[in-house]
A and B are shown apart, each in its own frame.
Chain A
Amino acid sequence: MDVPGQSSGVVTSGNGKAHASDAQAAPLVGESAQEAFRRLTERPADLLRFATAGSVDDGKSTLIGRLLYDSKQVLVDQLAHVEETSRRMGHDFIDLSLLTDGLRAEREQGITIDVAYRYFATAQRRFIIADTPGHEQYTRNMVTGASTADLAIVLIDARKGVVAQSKRHAFISSLLGIPHVVVCVNKMDLVDFDEAVFDAIVEDFDSFAARLEMPDVTFIPISALLGDNVVDRSESMGWYQGPPLLYHLEHVHIASDRNLIDVRFPVQWVIRPPATSVADYRAYAGQVAGGVMRPGDDVVVLPGGHHTTIAGIDSFDGPVQEAFPPMSVAVRLTDDIDVARGSMIVRTHNQPSVSTGFECLLCWMSEQPLSPRRRYLVKHTTRTVMVGGVDVRYRIDVETLRRDEDVSTLELNDLARVHLQLSAPLVFDSYRRNRVTGSLIIIDEATNETVAAGVVLDTEVEGEEEPKSERSPNVMWQGSQMTRARRWEALGHGGLTLWFTGLPGAGKSTIASAVEERLIAAGRTAFLLDGDNLRHGLNGDLGFDEEARNENVRRTAHVARLLAESGTIALVSLVSPYAADRRAAAALHAADDLQFVEIFVDAPLELCERRDPKGLYARARSGELAGLTGVGAPYEVPSEPDLVLGSCEETVEEEVERVMDLLAARGLTSGS
């Protein structure tokens, strides 16, 4: 009994893998064990995961069997087994499709039920095949198999052309953001290897795919049964100029498919050995989902929003200088803050969305339809939260791509756009940006079944802003095309914040407004935010207790930060008596890489009281005004101000000069 087709796949009796092709991991002729070992271990082989999809009888199992067989991965006992089964089924040839059917029901019914994983290697790469069933009722398995794929092979029967199932497969591939798609037009032998048939199918598929997001589509005419253009170039299709399938799989460029820009580190587990074994060790374990992390990086832990720095990145094999996807590592932070499973560590300047609601595309995978009466959970990265509501916007007919808005529920294999409302915020990106932080599953709480898979869409996140909170879980930071560099270049200078703090009457506003004068006169954009003036509008609702003062400083700091971002030199004149509030204001700027200059106007209390421009001290001393800083409320002196002014020896002009010198010294403005 033989395997049909081109001669390269004939198994010799002595060594099942003694073939001519070099597409193998097996030792080469004349190679010693040491040499083979070195060749296998020193070669930096990478891993390509691909999914195969095709309708019934498209020859998918045959194609996989052929790939395994022609790349010498089928071993003698497996082949003997297939040969025996082929004979029993009445074939007069070895049916390679039998290599892949794993379950008894599949062999009995001659169909594929479940995703099967296959492995093979060539000198170039290691491959994991997710062999997914093509039947419509098993669409969920294609989604399963394709979710981690770098590449999808869509099989089309040359005699049938692009059918509904081909469109479904193309759509799912695009939905799952598979970066590379290979359309194999199979059974070319049954259409006399006719170029025109191939061209018509290419055109047909292209016209459908043009409406999808498919960055890289390759078409290959093949005969899986005979082996044409699978591993070896077809002798019957001279008109085809491209490479055979295996060559394409070996060489397609996948390194740049990962997101190496946005640092995303979902925390899985806290490593904290008992104090008796390792003193004070605490690290956050996880798999890098995006970006490159390095010790010293400024990071923020979401959704809490605490800022800190990466102290070190550890692995069992020692410290790691750079961690990138998909490495599993453990991260140590410089500050002892609240980090747990479900937290996500990201870079300060590049944050994902944090929200309790967003738009996504769902594939419903359960026989139980979506029901408002059931309770669902969403698992996303390492967080699991309760679903508040699923609002079905429309269902998508994958064959016509038409939207059906007249639906309220979802059934098995439905694909739909929905709005998902959750009981607690998730930290996410759009799936297009990141396949790890943009994907989720939905679990039925009663049955524990996975009922749906979802990808987060690239849409704005609506919702109400929560005031009075540094966390705004329903608001997504709107990135814009305009960059800081372009803004600042147009202005001719950059922005920053000069923060004048000190007792009432110390002279903060006097100095700050004189500095503003000088800057404007020099052609700079500057703006004075005076504490008293702000209390007339923006902060008009605030009193003078500690909490209100915190809030006063917080709001003012945000306004200053926005001004600085715009390129303005923001001058803040505010008592801001608490060190913690000033630190928070500084941190807010640091988080955006903006300069924050703390200027302590340190006039002695007696001097302030003597000046008393607003009569405050007099009122405080008479008991009419309670809680005046310096009299009835504390003032925490800055420990490390950038500049100290306010001594009685200097004139206002001299003090302005010192501020200007400081700016010049820092390269923030020229001395003029």
Chain B
Amino acid sequence: MPVTYHLTHLRALESEAIHVMREVAAEFERAVLLFSGGKDSIILLRLAEKAFRPAPLPFPVMHVDTGHNFPEAIEFRDRRIAELDERLVVASVEESIRSGRVVEQTGPRASRNALQTVTLLDAIAEHGFDAAFGGARRDEERARAKERILSFRDEFGQWEPQRQRPELWSLYNGRIRKGEHARVFPISNWTELDVWQYIAEEELEVPSIYFAHDRQVFARDGMLYAVSPFIELMEGEQPFMSRVRYRTVGDMSCTGAVESSACTLAEVVAEIAATDITERGQTRADDRVTEAAMEDRKRQGYF
């Protein structure tokens, strides 16, 4: 084989992400890795292993639990963290509601998605975290496409797009004041297809809901939602059985399923490559509210 010192695009992206993680671990005092059990954060965990093994991870793992998660995702989360022998912090939206920090939305379209932001910011303050790794990708949404890999947040956790620090080469400016923190997105440059190809290459386990399964669903706004105790049916909405899978794993109240027969990683990769609609457009009600829905939520401290 001729020596060309060639790195495939996936390995180049992987190396970039490992570099980011090591920089942040070295320059911040208390980092935390956000893990939801979803595919992007599964990759973050693997990248953290690649960056720091054989030592333990130099930061804990945190899940912002809305209380409305898919049980499959929670079960997977606990198993994976136990396997890795790492520390899990759970920040609970349920808790924030009980303590009166946030008020639960009501009605058939109620979602705890927006409430997460408060719980997240509270947890960051409570634990004194100064950097939080997240699995957001720039290909997901237009506002994300403009966000830095190291995204600076003020003391209220807010993102100010016009005041972003220039980010040059692979030199990350990790200096912050007390009370401020940084959101860090090591897989900013990955696409959904990259994520699935990487999961396939690395033979990573993912929650079963990413594969086709039979589920009671109902149609709303052109999306299929799972029938669950967390979502009220509106008049005329009829549950039916369908063969579906999830493209994203979020809150059950705002994450839609897609009709699919993809039962293996190879079939999922092929399906993603062939799709004609974006991940968020197809499955996330939270991004459909206004044209700048994501930008507005990010400004408030959302990921």
Assembly CA distance A316 to B46 (angstroms): 10
**Least Cβ–Cβ distance between B140 and chain A, in angstroms:** 10
In angstroms, Cα B52 to Cα A272, docked, is 9
Tally of A interface residues using CB under 8 Å: 88
Q: Are A328 and B138 in contact (CB under 8 A)?
A: no
User: In the complex the two chains form, is B171's CB within 8 Å of A76's CB?
Assistant: no
What residues of chain A lie closer than 8 Å to B262, measured between beta carbons?
A: 33
Segment with Cβ contacts to A, from B33-41, B121-129, B186-194: B186-194
Q: Which residue of B lies closest to A445 (CB)?
A: B175
Q: Is the CB of B173 within 8 A of A450?
A: yes
Q: Taking each of B4, B166, B269, B271, which has the highest tally of chain A beta carbons within 10 Å of its own beta carbon?
A: B166
Q: In the bound complex, do residue B277 and residue A147 qualify as a contact, i.e. CB atoms below 8 Å apart?
A: no
**Residues 132 to 171 of chain B near chain A (Cβ within 8 Å):** 138-139, 142-146, 161-162, 164-171
Q: Are A114 and B161 in contact (CB under 8 A)?
A: yes
Interface: A499 (CB within 8 A): no
B299 to chain A, nearest CB (A): 10
CA separation between A273 and B149, bound complex, in Å? 28
A16 touching B277, Cβ below 8 Å: yes
CB within 8 Å for A126 and B175 given contacts A34-B266, A102-B146, A327-B15: no
Residues of B within 8 A of A121 (CB): 191, 193
Q: Give A387 Cβ to nearest chain B Cβ, in Å.
A: 14
Asked if B289 is at the interface of the complex by the 8 Å CB criterion, the answer is: no
> A119-B138, A287-B18 given as contacts; is B175 within 8 A of A448 (CB)?
yes
Residue of B nearest to A324 (CB): B5
Scan residues 165-201 of chain B and give those whose CB is less than 8 A from a CB of chain A.
Answer: 165-171, 173, 175-177, 188-189, 191, 193-194, 197, 200-201
- Chain A residues with CB under 8 A of B282: 77
Would you call B169 and A148 a contact (CB within 8 A)? Answer: yes
Q: State A36–B274 Cα separation when bound (angstroms).
A: 9
In the complex, whether A588 has a CB less than 8 A from a CB of chain B is no
Instruction: List B contacts of A268 (CB < 8 A).
Output: 19, 22-23, 26
Partner of B277, one of A47, A75, A449: A75
A637 CA to B86 CA, complexed, in Å = 54
A115-171 interface (Cβ within 8 A of B): 115-119, 121, 125-126, 128, 140-141, 143-144, 147-148
B49 at the interface (CB under 8 A from A): yes
B238 interface residue, CB < 8 Å from A? no
Known: A33-B271, A45-B8. A141 touches B168 (CB 8 A): no
Could you tell me the distance in whole angstroms from the C-beta of A28 to the nearest C-beta in chain B? 10
A269 touching B7 in the complex, CB below 8 Å, given contacts A33-B267, A41-B200, A441-B171? no
Q: Is B9 a contact partner of A126 (Cβ separation < 8 A)?
A: yes
Chain B residues lying within 8 Å of A429, measured Cβ to Cβ, are: none
Does A260 lie at the interface of the complex (its beta carbon under 8 Å from any beta carbon of B)?
Answer: yes
| B164: A residues at CB distance < 8 A | 114
Beta-carbon contact of A255 and B4 below 8 Å = yes
Determine if A529 is an interface residue (Cβ-Cβ < 8 Å).
no
In contact, A140 and B6 (Cβ under 8 angstroms): no
Chain B residues, CB < 8 A from A224: none
Residues of A within 8 A of B169 (CB): 147-148, 435-436, 439, 441
Instruction: Please report the total number of B residues contacting A with Cβ < 8 Å.
Output: 74
Q: Which of chain A's residues has its CB closest to B13's CB? A: A47
In the complex the two chains form, what is the Cα distance from A277 to B7 in whole Å?
A: 32
In the complex, the answer to whether A103 meets B168 with C-beta atoms within 8 Å is: no
Tell me which residues across on chain A come within 8 A of B8, comparing CB atoms: 44-46
CA distance A15 to B273 in the complex (A): 12
Q: Complex Cα distance A439/B51, Å?
A: 24
Closest Cβ–Cβ distance, residue B71 to chain A (whole Å): 28
Taking a contact as CB atoms under 8 Å apart, the answer to whether A448 and B176 are in contact is: yes
> Does the CB pair B188–A117 fall under 8 Å?
yes
Of A41, A75, A115, A147, the contact of B201 (CB 8 Å cutoff): A41
- A303 CB-CB contact with B under 8 Å: no
Contact A40 B171 (CB under 8 A): no
Residues from chain B with a CB closer than 8 A to the CB of A407 are: none
User: Which A residues from 69 to 90 make CB contacts under 8 A with B?
Assistant: 75-78, 81, 85
B276 interface residue (CB < 8 Å to A): yes
Q: Mark A88-114, 1 if CB is under 8 A from B, else 0.
A: 000000000000011111010000011
Residues A40 and B273 in contact, CB atoms below 8 Å apart: yes
Whole-angstrom distance between the alpha carbons of A143 and B269 in the complex? 35
A419 within 8 A of B: no
Known: A37-B200, A47-B9, A277-B56. 9 other contacts (CB 8 A): A32-B270, A33-B267, A41-B197, A45-B9, A46-B12, A118-B145, A328-B19, A436-B169, A448-B173
- Shortest Cβ-Cβ A-B pairs, 7 listed: A16-B276, A77-B281, A102-B142, A33-B270, A37-B266, A273-B55, A328-B18
Which B residues lie at the A interface, using CB under 8 A?
4-9, 11-16, 18-19, 22-23, 25-26, 49-56, 138-139, 142-146, 161-162, 164-171, 173, 175-177, 188-189, 191, 193-194, 197, 200-201, 262, 264-267, 269-271, 273-278, 281-282, 291-292, 295
- Contacts A/B (CB < 8 Å), 6 sampled: A36-B270, A113-B161, A126-B9, A258-B5, A277-B55, A287-B18
